[in-house]
Structure 1
Amino acid sequence: MIARRDLAVRVAARSDLSPTCFRLTLAAQEPLDASPGQFGMLSCGEGFDPLLRRAFSLAGVSRQGDTTEVELLIKEVGKGTTLLRHFALGSDLRLLAPLGNGFSLDAGPHRLALVAGGIGLPPVLFAAEVLAARSTGFDLYLGATSAVELLELTRCGRATSRAGGELVLTTDDGSRGERGFVTAALARRLSEGRAYSRVLACGPTPMLAALTLLARGHGLDAELSLEEPMACGVGVCLGCVVKLADGRYVPTCKEGPVFRTSELAPGWWT
């Protein structure tokens, strides 16, 4: 377990990725070790409105000289994310990280299938770049509602190419890539005989539920990064509990956010 810390960070860079999403780069003087699938709780300013920090999966962590750079991909959906989108460069914030448990990145007899839906991309992109650096093979399935919401295509393509895999794009409206849900694209390739050792995924709950059924039907192990509302990030408030197969309810922020599908109660995905 990597020890969490409350880091002083500043807004080092910000760029729009789509009409609704943006990339936020934070700089810290302290080192930070994190694994793909872990997340952080980011303050939205110095005051008490908003009171609570916001939970964001880490899209990348790197050390640049004496500075640690943390990348977040954020969708603007409310007051907190709107504030983050408009902070001036150099603004001071606090980041509690790394939190939770990440993906298992061990290689297997076959390549991995990485699946991201919409703003579920950050932990999957982080995993893709780490796996590519290790020369671990994978295919990356990236889905969105429309072409404009397909994020970080250059980085996704570069990591997938480096790993010798296929980048599969899908959009609900067919404006780019294959028309339909990203799970359908994976299902077609599995039906054609493509073999994977494991599936790593993050996205909206309906996508993850469909992916669970698909993986179970093909005898595949899958790890899901769940998107649950989190207020504290450390398992105290119990606002993000999920039921496990053994009947226990556990906080997603502390025991997850990554779970194997075999760990989750059937009611979660049926």
Structure 2
Amino acid sequence: MPHPNHHTQDIAQTLATAHRTGTAWQPTEGWPEISAADAYAIQAAVATALGWFPEGPRAWKVGGTTDISAAPLPEVRPSPTASPATWALPAGQDEVLIEAELAFRLASAPAAQKADLPDALACLGTVCVSVELIGTRLAEGLSAPPNWKLADQGVHAGLLIGEAQPAARFAAFTQTDWQAQACHIRVQSADGTVALHEGRGSHPAILAGMHPLGTLPWLARHAARQLGPHASGLRTSDLITTGAWLVVKVRRGDVVDVGFEGLPGVRLHMA
């Protein structure tokens, strides 16, 4: 588990305060350099300060191709099936970025020290559509250096998930199957205007000729390191989001439908 020093502990305390108050923090001396190890130490210290994971994280985000990164997720909201989920934006914020992703729940835990991609794929239980709300506790944080965004929980502000389906079909996908996988975000504004955003094989790893779930073995090792010697890393029933297929800016009042071909979609109302 990473150990915070005085510098990272100070940053973590300030970020924890920003979480509690909803007031963005502007570092007075710009963005002092921090390492990825510092960023993970800050993540862990913020989680401790806010009491997020008394028994360890049960949800993670992981992404990247050559530079993989991750963050534990403090809250996951299921999407209602009969009506849109309401997602309230913070006061004074009228627009936000959302990401369309696939999220997988583990039926068993990959062995951290021996995990490879076939082992990780064999551990998948279910898959669902997920929508991540991108938000930051840092003033102008979306333009901050990468390790500062990583320290800020990967600029995560919330996750909404749809109805789960068996993951076996996706676990068996070939690269051609992944390239053909369709995703969409449909946004209807308060005045009735509709914008449709679509993609096929639009996950960054697929576009780079890589497997979109290739980060799972790395996450198994990372989770074991982050949680310390008395925890087991990834566990059965953990939920893992695996990177954005589409990223769209939405506004307060919009009704948003997010879908992946072959899976139940998610609808949300930005309030």
Answer yes or no: same fold by TM over 0.5.
no
TM-score by length of 2: 0.25
TM-score by length of 1: 0.25
